[in-house]
């Protein structure tokens, strides 16, 4: 860990505990900051609160009192990524021109290791995992962090110059960065998402673009040549630029030609040897190959990963077959684009399980991808909207149920041999479940109960 002095004797208010708040508070304490933590649900019985208090860190629960800023010295705010900027403390901090960061900024400040940063509306976790696995097979000593796995600043604190940190980042995390500058940065794609948090698409796009913002000619921006908004954002980057494309041959980049993937004219792998399902995953694979080839990973290591890697849990994950029906868990599909990509991965008759938090979408964009869908089992706040889309698309069987568990049995009842039963909600989980992981785990358990 770098011995940074940025936070020495500074008064830092950490808003939101959870994993990221706990890690940030402890790191700031070690860096010599005067730390106060505020979390609505914090109580003295919580193990994390006890740990912080044992270090002499003040913890305030029960609300977000403005007195924390108005009546106490505060130099910096570190907020949990999920806390909106409409939070009263964040609003007051902005009024006082106090810097508001996420722990990703701390991670960058203390990391001795280079950072490969990945963002995008869809495919982040798969791409991040692919990069990590390829680097690991080639013995490049990677660490994985961010929106996947361990909190970024916790990983960065332990990293050395011999490591490389592969970091998945959300727009929530990136918006709270100031100096963050990854050695390699990529935006996979941009689609309307999280507008309830950001307010407008422009703000969402701005947050994503911060991944390129501070890069210099010593760094590399990896760019999806086929995504116009990503391409436009990249034009402001001062880094070296390298492109990937699933549809165009690129002289200086990663591309597909003759059913093979190529890197700057060098054949890397034949597509038929790749086991990860779904056409949409080809772009994730191209992006991953771009990143690891820049770190001198061998084609042999890339081949080994791509001929064995079948996907990440909750991301188009094959669960099991029951009486000839194949069940897939795509609970991570929290927006329309992700679900449309999942539907395109299958040619068999499909029963789609969908629904969740209502963020204002009308789901009409989903219609072109429902051609193989024979039934839709719907749940959550968006069930009525999805039912309208199903009816307008001529779906034969449509049923509303209370939750994911009941959706599984309802789907099985209308399915036949060789059908695909796909949980791909097109919505966030928070109306009924704490996380998309919880939703996916309940789906998996329900499938196993069928047996």
Q: What would the pLDDT profile of 40-55 be if each residue is shown by its tens digit?
A: 999 988 999 999 999 9
What is the pLDDT averaged over residues 113-140? 95
399, pLDDT greater than 70: yes
* pLDDT of 196: 64
* pLDDT of 146: 82
User: Tell me: the pLDDT tens digits for 268-301?
Assistant: 999 999 988 777 789 999 999 999 999 999 999 9
Which residue has 């959870």 as its token pair? 18
**Alpha-helix residue ranges (DSSP H) falling in 163-215:** 171-175, 195-198, 201-213
Q: What angle do CA 332, 387, 405 make, to 5 degrees?
A: 50
Q: In what order do the strands lie in the sheet with 11-15?
A: 58-60, 34-38, 11-15, 76-79, 100-101
Q: How far is CA 39 from CA 147, 237, 287, 410, in A?
A: 20, 37, 38, 40
121 labelled as ligand-binding? yes
Cα(201)–Cα(232) distance, rounded to whole angstroms? 14
Tokens found for residue 383: 């069930």
123 labelled as ligand-binding? yes
Q: In what order do the strands lie in the sheet with 317-322?
A: 317-322, 325-329, 420-423, 350-354, 373-378, 397-400
**Nearest to residue 345, comparing CAs of 126, 120, 117?**
126
Tokens found for residue 304: 């080994």
Q: What is the CA radius of gyration of the chain?
A: 23
Contact 439, 345 (CB under 8 A): no
User: Tell me: the pLDDT tens digits for 337-375?
Assistant: 889 989 998 989 999 999 999 988 899 999 999 999 999
**Alpha-helix residue ranges (DSSP H) falling in 111-164:** 124-137, 152-158
21 labelled as ligand-binding? no
126 labelled as ligand-binding? yes
Q: Give SS3 for 316.
A: coil
Listed in sequence order, the residues at least 6 apart from 413 whose beta carbon sits closer than 8 Å to its beta carbon are none
Cα(239)–Cα(99) distance, rounded to whole angstroms? 26
**Alpha-helix residue ranges (DSSP H) falling in 315-435:** 336-344, 383-392, 404-414
Q: Identify the residue with better confidence: 191 or 181.
A: 181
pLDDT band at 192 (very low <50, low <70, confident <90, very high): low
Domains of the chain: 11-101 (3.40.50.720), 104-306 (3.40.1190.10), 317-450 (3.90.190.20)
* pLDDT of 29: 97
Cα(378)–Cα(55) distance, rounded to whole angstroms? 48
199, pLDDT greater than 70: no
Q: Rounded to two decimals, what is the model's pTM?
A: 0.81
Q: How many CB atoms lie within 10 A of CB 445?
A: 13
115, pLDDT greater than 90: yes
125 labelled as ligand-binding? yes
Q: Identify the residue with better confidence: 400 or 196.
A: 400
């Amino acid at each position: 860990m770098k011995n940074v002095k940025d936070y020495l004797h500074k008064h830092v208010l950490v808003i939101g505990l959870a994993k990221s708040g706990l890690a940030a508070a402890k790191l700031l304490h070690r860096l010599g900051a005067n730390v106060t933590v505020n979390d609505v649900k914090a109580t003295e019985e919580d193990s994390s609160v006890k740990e912080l208090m044992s270090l002499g860190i003040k913890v305030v629960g029960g609300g977000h009192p403005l007195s924390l800023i108005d009546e106490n010295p505060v130099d910096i705010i570190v907020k949990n990524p999920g806390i909106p900027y409409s939070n009263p403390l964040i609003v007051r901090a902005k009024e006082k021109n106090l810097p508001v960061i996420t722990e990703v900024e701390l991670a960058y400040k203390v990391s001795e290791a280079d950072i490969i940063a990945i963002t995008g509306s869809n495919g982040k976790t798969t791409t991040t995992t692919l990069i990590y696995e390829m680097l690991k097979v080639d013995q490049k000593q990677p660490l994985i962090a961010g929106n996947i796995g361990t909190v970024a600043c916790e990983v960065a604190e332990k990293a050395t110059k011999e490591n490389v940190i592969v970091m998945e980042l959300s727009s929530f995390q990136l918006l709270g960065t100031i100096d963050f500058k990854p050695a390699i940065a990529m935006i996979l794609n941009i689609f309307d998402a999280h507008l309830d948090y950001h307010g407008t698409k422009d703000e969402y796009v701005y947050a994503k673009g911060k991944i390129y913002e501070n890069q210099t000619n010593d760094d590399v921006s990896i760019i999806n040549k086929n995504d116009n908004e990503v391409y436009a954002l990249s034009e402001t980057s001062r880094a070296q630029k390298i492109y990937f494309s699933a549809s165009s041959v690129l002289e200086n980049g990663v591309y597909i030609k003759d059913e093979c993937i190529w890197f700057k004219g060098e054949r890397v792998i034949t597509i038929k040897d790749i086991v990860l399902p779904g056409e949409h995953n080809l772009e994730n694979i191209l992006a991953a190959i771009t990143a690891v080839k820049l770190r001198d990973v061998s084609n042999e290591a890339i081949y080994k990963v791509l001929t064995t890697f079948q996907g990440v849990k909750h991301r188009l994950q094959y669960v099991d077959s029951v009486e000839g029906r194949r069940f897939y868990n795509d609970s991570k599909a929290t927006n329309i684009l992700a679900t449309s990509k999942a539907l395109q991965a299958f040619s068999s008759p499909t029963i789609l399980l969908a629904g969740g938090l209502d963020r204002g979408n009308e789901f009409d964009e989903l219609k072109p991808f429902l051609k193989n869908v024979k039934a839709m089992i719907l749940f959550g706040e968006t069930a009525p909207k999805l039912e309208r889309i199903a009816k307008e698309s001529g779906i034969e069987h449509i049923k509303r149920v209370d939750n994911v568990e009941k959706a599984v049995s309802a789907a099985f009842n209308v399915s036949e041999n060789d059908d695909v039963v796909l949980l791909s909600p097109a919505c966030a989980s928070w109306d009924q479940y704490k996380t998309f992981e919880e939703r996916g785990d309940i789906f998996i358990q329900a499938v196993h109960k069928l047996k």
